[in-house]
Structure 1
Amino acid sequence: MAATDEPAARPRGTRRLLGAIARWTLIVHAALLVAQPFIAGTMLDGRSADAQAWHLKIGMVLPTIGFVQIVVTFLAWGLARWPQGAFTGSIAVWVLELAQFFIGYLGMPLAMHIPLGLFVVAAGVGMAYAYGYRAVPRALVPASTLADAHPN
């Protein structure tokens, strides 16, 4: 009997672990996105000589984390029954991040870099809130739990 219960328990634990990894990836990604404007502000203020280097370093790490987020949300969508929006939204944020990175790296006008940067921050934080911070989406809650919680 234990042999039949054991395989059923493993996928649930795997789904839970994959969901936790996806959530933390979304949250860390959003936190680094939020840090960027603050670092840029200290850079423009001229109070920190290292601010430009930190802004560049984080800006170079963000597309990598964005790509990891795409892979993790794809796995969460396929294996842990996460909503497809987490995956497609991650792709959209990553494409915007790449554009933002190249606009900044090539020294294009701040009139392009700043508005796009604010949009990327809002999109990344929105993704983290929608899929990482909020309660588990309905698609992840077993139907038996929903029926028990809301009897009609």
Structure 2
Amino acid sequence: MAPTNDTAARPSGHQQLLRAIVRWVLIVHAALLVVQPFIAGTMLDGRSAGAQAWHLNIGMALPAIGFLQIVVTLLAWRLARWPQGAFTGSIAVWLLELAQFFIGYLGLPLAIHIPLGLLLIVAGVGMAYYYSYRAVPDAQEPASTPAEARPN
């Protein structure tokens, strides 16, 4: 068996930086998704005049952060061997965020806005957990061929 070269399997400094950026974007995005219903809840008492402005401002920032997440997960997928699912999941979450923004901005029924918001929270937190807190493989190991697996 040939000795393995650990330095060849380790990601470069640029790859590690890109992975750290992706993790932070995922976490910040998920945190803003989680805070939205709490801010909306403070609007129910009728005394929190600034809560509606905060909810709107964060709601406007979420699609921008979602687009940033698409860009960084694309770069991470292509340059740092990040899983493709982070990129495709980011696109799906971003499209749902755009729909959520327009549903809220146009004042469409809460019967649509609230369940879609809950779906976004689950998707955003799920992606942040799955791709930030779990170990991402550094390199895809090529499968050995049956000829290589047979003893001589």
State TM-score, norm by structure 1. 0.83
What are the within-5 Å matches in structure 2 for residues 31-46 of structure 1?
31-46=31-46
CA distances 1:100-148 after superposition (whole Å, capped 9, x unpaired): 00000000000000000000111000000000122x223x2586xxxxx
Offset from partner CA, 1:3-30 (integer Å, 9 cap, x none): xxxxx8xx70000000000000000000
**2:22 — aligned with what?**
22
Superposition pairs for residues 73-112 of structure 1, below 5 Å?
73-112=73-112
1:46 CA displacement: 2.1
| Distance in 2 separating the partners of 1:88 and 1:74 | 9
Deviation per CA, 1:53-87: give whole Å up to 9, x if none: 00000000000000000000000000000000000
Q: Equivalent residue of 1:45, what SS?
A: coil
Give the number of the structure whose residues are more often helix, by fraction.
Answer: 1
Query: Where does 1:1-150 land on structure 2 (aligned, <5 Å)?
Result: 12-134=12-134, 136-138=135-137, 140=138
- Which consecutive residues of structure 2, in runs of 5 or more, have no partner in the other structure? 1-7, 142-152
Give, as a single letter, the amino acid of the residue that structure 2 aligns with 1:73: T
What's the secondary structure of 2:75's corresponding residue? helix
> How far has the Cα of 1:49 moved from its partner?
1.1
**CA distance in structure 2 between the aligned counterparts of 1:63 and 1:112, rounded to whole angstroms:** 18
Give the Cα–Cα distance (whole angstroms) in 1 for the partners of residues 50 and 58 of structure 2: 12
Higher-Rg structure is 2
- CA separation in 2, counterparts of 1:118 and 1:84? 24
AA of the residue aligned to 1:120: L
Q: What is the letter of the counterpart of residue 33 of structure 1?
A: L
Q: Match for residue 150 of structure 1?
A: none
Matched length: 132
Percent of pairs with identical residues: 77
User: Which shows bigger deviation, 103-112 or 125-134?
Assistant: 125-134
Superposition CA RMSD, Å = 1.5
